[in-house]
Structure 1
Amino acid sequence: MPDHAAHPSTSVKHSLPWISGILTGIISGVVLGLFLKVIQAYTGEQVYTLLLNIDFVPGLPSTLPEFIEFSLHLLVSIVIGIFYLWWVRESGRPMLKGVLLGAVSSLLYIPLSQLSSRVPELDDVRAILYWVAGHLLFGLVLGMCGKYINTKKATPVS
């Protein structure tokens, strides 16, 4: 009979990094949200409103309490965090992949800015720069979490 403890199945070995991914997504999502909230408070650019915008989601009211909208944002960040850590575990390079995911996610400005009259326009250069800076920050935080998690797993326990 095979010893499952000594030889874990490949499906368990290659499972998604649930706990680490959830924490990474929450940390990165909170940093992004706070950054954009501060930017909006100081500049008036509606970038935090854009981040939480749910006008386009069928079946939901156009606005919900902020904590619910922020929770929806964190759910998206959690999915990204889980995917990100799986990707890094499979092929390394946590900082590069974190920044890449941040940069790619900043492209959401294009469709999101078209879906509501409450958010910045597609040609609002300042809003675009704040949005991209926030998402690059999001990517850097992903990368730092990925580096930390990979370092902790690589360190032998005494």
Structure 2
Amino acid sequence: MKQLFNLTSIGLIAGFVLILILKIVMVLTGNTAYVLLFNFDYIPVVNDLKPVWLFGQVFHYLTCIISVIALFYILKTWTMQKAIWPYILVYTLGGGALFFLTALSEQPPAANDIMAWIYWTVAHAIFGYTVGAMVKKWM
């Protein structure tokens, strides 16, 4: 139970770090990659949930928590759960690929916004580092 609590805490903290990075990018550059963190309008049924701002936050944090727990246990099968690099690799590649879901939405950023993709992907690499470092320290 303590392990699940720690992993959930890691997901929440790293999810906040991800929000913070992309919010800073938006404030400094005007780039809208931040908006994608809370966008779920391309998911049937879920896209009807109101208020959108609240469920956007819930969607973001649940995604962070579930992905941290899942990746930890996947890596544990190879006793790699305490290595930082697999978290960086998976979240960088996964985040970079998932960016293109924005093509399914009317909301920004545009799927061909290269700078948004770069900011998004780098922010997810930092998310991966944050997760890996906390797993290494707390687990």
TM-score interval (norm. to shorter): 0.7 to 0.9
Runs of 4+ in structure 1 displaced over 4 angstroms?
none
Question: Do 1:99 and 1:143's aligned partners in 2 also have CA atoms closer than 8 Å?
Answer: yes
Shift of 1:100: 1.5
Q: Which residue of 2 aligns with 1:81?
A: 68
- Structure 1 counterpart of 2:119, from 130, 151, 154: 130
Shift of 1:16: 10
**Counterpart of 2:31 in 1: which secondary structure?**
coil
Question: Do 1:54 and 1:63's aligned partners in 2 also have CA atoms closer than 8 Å?
Answer: no
CA–CA distance in structure 1, aligned partners of residues 16 and 111 of structure 2: 25
69 and 38 in structure 1: CA distance in 2 versus 1, 3 angstrom threshold: same
| Cα RMSD, aligned residues only | 2.2
* 1:6-45 matches, cutoff 5 A: 17-45=3-31
Q: Provide, for residues 115-153 of structure 1, a one-character-per-residue CA deviation record: whole Å limited to 9, x for no partner.
A: 112112222111111001110010010111111024xxx
CA–CA distance in structure 2, aligned partners of residues 144 and 31 of structure 1: 13
Uncovered stretches (5+) of structure 1, i.e. residues with no partner: 1-14, 151-158
Q: Does 1:143 align with 2:129?
A: no
Uncovered stretches (5+) of structure 2, i.e. residues with no partner: none
Provide the aligned length of Structure 1 versus Structure 2.
135
Question: Do 1:103 and 1:135's aligned partners in 2 also have CA atoms closer than 8 Å?
Answer: yes
Shift of 1:62: 7.8
